[in-house]
Amino acid sequence: MTELSNKVMIIMGASSGIGEATAKLLASKGVKLVLAARREERIKTLADSLGDQVFYQKADVTDRQQVQKVIDLTIEKFGRIDVMYNNAGIMPQGNLAKLEYASWQKMLDINIMGVLNGIGAVLPIMQKQQSGLIISTDSVAGHVVYPGSAVYNGTKYAVRAIMEGLRQEELSNGIRSTIISPGMVSSELFDTVGDATTEMALRETAGKAGFSLASADVAQAVLYAIEQPEHVIISEVLLRPAKQSI
């Protein structure tokens, strides 16, 4: 396994849920971190609680200039970037016939362009280093399609394609790519569903034993990918709650 205390990692979407759990786990392993999210007070509190090798930068993943500031801060503090984790995302639900154009656009901007903005900002540095690992949070929804979620499914299928393309294009530069595809996770992602009835149903299901993952479960999958030596690529980790049917 790789020595983690020498690793420098950026976590986008770090203020809650999977990002927060990953920050806590990786900080406990000695990883040097830069945390980014829109909610500055949340990431400041989190970073301050994790020690003097953890920094933060307010950033909206849909804004390339703000994402670039995260990269710049990381280089300023640590001089390199070993891992970029694109974790920000939203999950609005609803049938296509509802014609929720604004919701669709927001999903495209955050779930797809947010990932691309992270890749684009860090790629020149990793190419120069001739090493690096880029991780993106995908979903079981990027592997199966179900009613009421077509656009969300589409964004997650897109992330799969982008990350596989990244792997193929950059393998000669020593840059690896990983997607983490969890099933239902009990987190603040439920707040982005946008439909009260659907949100309530999801929360009720998640409250049943065996029907949802904890954010810390997904953080362990991220850790597994990062721990591998540089000649190993964990292309994908697909994890579900034990009782999830799809």
> What residues are annotated to the active site?
152
**136: phi > 0 → left, psi -120 to 50 → alpha, else beta; which?**
beta
Spatial contact of 129 and 7, defined as CB atoms under 8 Å apart: no
Positive or negative, the CA dihedral 93, 41, 62, 120 is: negative
Separation of alpha carbons 158 and 160, rounded Å = 5
Q: How many CB atoms lie within 10 A of CB 90?
A: 19
Q: How far apart are the first and last CA of the chain?
A: 32
CA 113, CA 79: separation in Å to the nearest integer? 26
Q: Is residue 110 within 8 Å of 65, Cβ to Cβ?
A: no
8 Å CB contact between 115 and 86: yes
Report how far apart, in Å, the C-alpha atoms of 97 and of each of 26, 35, 93, 147, 195 are.
42, 38, 12, 11, 14
